[in-house]
Amino acid sequence: MYKEDLLKGKTIIVTGGGTGLGRSMATRFSELGANIVIASRKLDVLQQAAKEMSEKTGGKILPLQLDVRKPELIESIINTTVEEFGSVDGLLNNAAGNFVSPTERLSYRAFDTVIDIVLRGTYYFTLALGKHWINKKQPGSILSIVTTYAYTGSGYVVPSAVGKAGIIGLTRSLAAEWGKYKIRLNAIAPGPFPTPGAWKRLFPDPKFADYMVNRIPLKRVGEHIELANLATYLMSEQSGYVTGDVVTIDGGEWLAGAGEFNFMESIKEDQWDEIQKRMKK
Ligand code: HXC
Ligand code: NAP
């Protein structure tokens, strides 16, 4: 889909890049020539991932330990990246925390924990890197991974919904404010893309995942490469005039859930024959 050197010479930091979707997107950026920093809490997981990823792509992948809830660590990640690769050109805010629970069962600390990783972590990194770029008079691209329930809200994942909605506010606001510095900010709202991290926390019973697939118009979950290619486009200069946008990649799921009459999918052809005969009369 892309030229092999699309991201050559670029350096991209991916938070939570050692597992799941972050790893898939980081691997794709690396295949297309970017230097990659993957940063999250579990250094052993990152180191193993970096080794496997660079064996696959031949690119440079630097694993660095980071808790996105600590801004002073974020600044040191930016400094280390510049020392290692000369500059930072892109940030993928991908790290997240989430679990399903009736909201009334959550402690204040449980709510804070998810918000702190999802929203605070994203604005800490965005702010630190934005200041760095503005100071250096350098352009940059920031991409954040949200969810479709950032638009709609969703019961049972309320702290995540609140945090992800906040990221959309951040993305749109700063796209307007920082355009003059040639800093672009966009977001992607994925529907379900199976990963061990999400599946073990969000689908306590595998039947729940089947239910989700049935209501997706395209009748399947997403493939990591589909998300990785979209992320590549939005991260690269090919999307140089796109900023402040949120692109949905969900097989039509959220609109199917929202449209008033979409429940009629369950009506069979012979039932339609009967209904239409009756209604035309
Ligand atoms: C209720 C819970 C809970 C649960 C933790 N807590 N798990 N409450 N139900 N299942 C509460 C704890 O009791 C504690 O509150 C507080 O949350 C903090 O818990 P810790 O374990 O100390 O937090 P921490 O070690 O920082 O771990 C953060 C985490 C964990 C979010 C709880 O799950 C994690 O590390 N997640 C990272 C990866 C992840 O979540 N990936 C999924 C992303 S999927 P008290 O009051 O008891 O001290 C996603 C996709 C959505 O976002 C869309 C899919 C279609
Ligand atoms: P995942 O594998 O669990 O990814 C979450 C990542 O965040 C992990 O690598 C984790 O690494 C990192 N992380 C968590 N807390 C952190 C912290 N405090 N500091 C730094 N890093 C931290 O799950 P995933 O499914 O790939 O999710 C990736 C992103 O996609 C998330 O933003 C998620 O909300 C979004 N998303 C996923 C889906 C889906 O269907 N999978 C759908 C919509 C949106 P450590 O544990 O090493 O810190």
Cα 273 to middle of ligand 1, angstroms: 50
Catalytic residue among 123, 124, 149, 151: 149
**Amino acid identity of 26?**
A
Q: Is residue 239 part of a domain?
A: yes
* Sheet arrangement for strand 140-145: 61-65, 35-40, 11-15, 90-93, 140-145, 183-190, 246-249
pLDDT at 204 over 90: no
pLDDT tens digit sequence for 42-81: 999 999 999 999 999 999 999 999 999 999 999 999 999 9
Q: Is residue 1 part of a domain?
A: no
pTM over 0.85: yes
Q: Is the CB of 190 under 6 A from ligand 2?
A: yes
Q: Is residue 2 part of a domain?
A: no
Residue 149: active-site member? yes
Q: Is residue 144 part of a domain?
A: yes
Strand partners, 56: none
Q: Nearest ligand, CA of residue 16?
A: 2
Give the model's confidence band at 142: pLDDT under 50 very low, under 70 low, under 90 confident, else very high. Answer: very high
- Return the pLDDT at 123: 98
Cα 4 to middle of ligand 2, angstroms: 27
pLDDT tens digit sequence for 81-138: 999 999 999 999 999 999 999 999 999 999 999 999 999 999 999 999 999 999 999 9
Q: Is residue 75 part of a domain?
A: yes
Burial of 181 (0-12, 13-18, 19+ CB in 10 A): middle
Q: Could you please report the per-residue DSSP string of 67-89? A: -TT-HHHHHHHHHHHHHHHS---
Number of domains in the chain: 1
CATH number, domain containing residue 252: 3.40.50.720
Residue 226: domain span: 11-280
Q: Which pair of tokens denotes residue 246?
A: 């949120």
Q: Is residue 73 part of a domain?
A: yes
pLDDT tens digit sequence for 228-248: 999 999 999 999 999 999 999
Q: Is residue 66 part of a domain?
A: yes
The residue to mutate among 162, 201, 208, having the most atoms of ligand 1 within 8 angstroms of its beta carbon, is 201
Q: Nearest ligand, CA of residue 248?
A: 2
Q: Is residue 53 part of a domain?
A: yes
Q: Could you please report the per-residue DSSP string of 76-131? A: HHHHHHHHHHS---EEEE---------GGG--HHHHHHHHIIIIIHHHHHHHHHHH
Q: Is the CB of 73 under 6 A from ligand 2?
A: no
